Structure 1
Amino acid sequence: MKLKRLLKNNFLFENGLNIGLNKEIVNKYDLKKREELSHEEYLQVLELAALSTSYYYLAKRDYSKKELLNKLLQKYWEKIPVLKVVKRLEELDYINDKEFAVSYVKNKKGGKKKLEYDLKLKGISPDIINDALLEYESDDELEELIKAWDKLGNKDEHKKIASLMRKGFDYGSIKKVINKKKEEGC
C-alpha cells in the first residue's frame, strides 16, 4: 500500500484514505521515510489509529457499540481493524450497551416510545431496551409530561397533544395530565 505524506502527520494512502496519525504510530512504522506499507502493516496502522481515535471519542461522551463502529468505519473504511478495536473496547468495558441504555434513559427527555425508538436507532437490542426502560418509572414520565405540557403554554389543546405525542408520550398519559390540570383549574 503506497502512502504519501501531506502535512506533518497527515497521510494519504493509495486507496484515497486520508488520515492523521499520532507520533507514536508514525515513529513505530517509520512513516516519515517510507513510501510503501505491506497490507498487514496498513491494517495494523489503521487499528492503532482507530483505537486512538475511539479513546478520543469516548472521552467526550458515551457511545453504543453500533454508533462507535459506524463512526470508526466512516473514518477508516476497513472493517477488520475497526471490528478488532470495538471488540477490544468491549472487553475493556469502555463500551457497554446495557450501561449506555440505562444512562441514556435517565438523562434524556421524552416519553417511553421516543426513548425506545432512539435506542433502537443506536443499535441497542430489544432486551436491553426493555431492561433500561424499567428504570424509567411512570412517575418520572408523568412529571416530565406535566413540565412539557406547561412549557407549551397557551397553545390549543389539540396542538399540545400532537406535540407531546411526537415527543414520545402516549395518549393515555397525556389525557391523565389534561384531566389533572382541569381538576386543578388551570
Structure 2
Amino acid sequence: MPIITKISVQQKKNDRYNIFLDEKYAFSVDEDVLIKHQLKKGMEVDEFSLSEIAYQDDIRKAYNTSIQYLSRRMRSEKEVRQYLKEKEVDEIIVQEVVHKLYEYRFLDDKEFAIAYVRTLMNTTDKGSGLIRGELREKGISEQLINAALRELPYEKEFEAAMKLSYKFVQKNKTDSSRIMKQKLEQMLMRKGYSHELIQAVVAESEIDKAEDVEMDALRKHAEKTHRKYSNLINSYEYEQKMKQALYRKGFSIDLIEKIIHEYKDI
C-alpha cells in the first residue's frame, strides 16, 4: 500500500495541505479532512481510504465555496443548489453540503423568506403579489411564503401603493380621468398589488376631476388633434375624426363636443 512520505502546507491556501505518497505528490486536502482522517507521515493508505478522503475533501471544498457565496447575502436552498451545480459539483456532494449548511444554520428558507419580505418592504414599492412570485422563483414553499408575507400587513402595502398613486397622478395630469384610472390600475398590477387593494387605492386617489380641470386636460390633447385635422374643420369628417381621437384618450363625448364647437366657432 502507498505510504504518506510528506505533508506540506500550500503557499497560497494555508488551510489546505499537499499529500505526497511514496515521495510523489498525490493530492491535496482541507485541514478538517486531514484532522478527521488523522493523516500523518508514515501512514499507509489503501484504495478505499483514498476514495473516502477524496469524497470528504470534495464535500469540504463545496462547503467552503457555499460559505463564501452565503457571506455576500442570505440565500435560499435553491439558490445554493443552483450555484453549486454551475460549479459542476456532483449532486451527491451537493446533497451532503446542503445538509451540512442546514445543520450549522447557514441555510434556513423560513428565515430567508422573512428577511426577503422585510427587505423589499423597506427598500422597494413592490406589492405582495410580485414578492410572492420572486420567492417562488427562489424555491420557497407556499407555506413559508404565506408565513413570511405576514411581515407585510395590508396597511403597509396600502400606504406604499398610495405613494405610488400620488406620484403617478401628479405625473399624468394631462390624461383624462378614465385613461388615468386605467393606467394607474395597470401600473399597480405590474407592481404586484391585489385587485382589491388597487380598487381601494383608486377610490382614494381623487382621479375623477372637476369638469373644468378635465376640460383643461382635454384642450391640451385637442389642440394637437385639431392641428392635424384643421383642413377638414368645416366638414362632418372633421367632427368624426376629432371625436374618435379624443374619445380614445378617455374623454367624454359631452366634453369633446364642447371643444369641437369651440374650434368651429373660432
TM range, smaller chain: 0.7 to 0.9
1:22/1:143 Cα in 2 relative to 1: closer, same or farther (>3 Å)?
farther
CA contact (8 A) 2:18 2:27 kept: no
Task: Find the counterpart in structure 2 of residue 122 from structure 1.
Answer: 138
Cα distance in 2 for residues equivalent to 1:134 and 1:120: 16
Task: Find the counterpart in structure 2 of residue 24 from structure 1.
Answer: 15
Alignment of 1:10-159 (within 5 A): 22-25=13-16, 27=17, 29=19, 33-34=25-26, 40-108=52-120, 109=124, 110-152=126-168, 153-155=170-172, 156-159=180-183
* Matched letter for residue 65 of structure 2: T
Task: Find the counterpart in structure 2 of residue 13 from structure 1.
Answer: none
Farther-moved stretch of structure 1 (62-71 vs 155-164): 155-164
TM-score, scaled to structure 1: 0.75
CA contact (8 A) 1:106 1:136 kept: yes
* Matched letter for residue 189 of structure 2: M
Cα distance in 1 for residues equivalent to 2:15 and 2:155: 52
Aligned-residue RMSD, C-alpha: 2.8
Structure with larger RCO (C-alpha < 8 A, sep 6+): 1
Cα distance in 2 for residues equivalent to 1:178 and 1:128: 31
Shift in Å, 1:42: 4.1
Question: Tell me, which stretches of 5 or more residues in structure 2 are unaligned?
Answer: 1-9, 29-46, 173-179, 210-266
1:23/1:47 Cα in 2 relative to 1: closer, same or farther (>3 Å)?
farther
CA contact (8 A) 2:19 2:27 kept: no
For the residue of structure 2 that corresponds to 1:34, the secondary structure is: strand
CA contact (8 A) 2:113 2:145 kept: yes
Cα distance in 2 for residues equivalent to 1:39 and 1:149: 63
Farther-moved stretch of structure 1 (33-42 vs 116-125): 33-42
**Number of aligned pairs?**
164
* Matched letter for residue 111 of structure 2: E
Shift in Å, 1:68: 0.8
* Matched letter for residue 79 of structure 1: E
Cα distance in 1 for residues equivalent to 2:104 and 2:18: 24
Shift in Å, 1:41: 4.3
Farther-moved stretch of structure 1 (140-149 vs 82-91): 140-149
Shift in Å, 1:89: 0.7
1:154/1:54 Cα in 2 relative to 1: closer, same or farther (>3 Å)?
same
Structure whose alpha-carbon radius of gyration is higher: 2
Shift in Å, 1:167: 1.4
Task: Find the counterpart in structure 2 of residue 182 from structure 1.
Answer: 206
Farther-moved stretch of structure 1 (100-109 vs 37-46): 37-46
